[in-house]
Amino acid sequence: MRFAQPWPRHEPVLTLAERREMQELLNRKGFSIRASRTAGWGPKSRAAVRDYQASVGLVPDGFASATILARLRGR
Task: Give pLDDT, residue 58.
Answer: 93
CA–CA gap between residue 61 and residue 5 (Å, rounded): 8
Largest CA distance in the chain: 34
Residue 9 CA, distance from chain mean position: 16
* End-to-end Cα distance, the chain: 34
> What are the distances in angstroms from CA 70 to CA 14, 31, 39, 45, 64?
11, 16, 22, 17, 11
Task: Give pLDDT, residue 54.
Answer: 96
In which residue ranges of the chain is pLDDT below 70? 1-8, 35-39
Task: Give pLDDT, residue 52.
Answer: 97
Task: Give pLDDT, residue 15.
Answer: 93
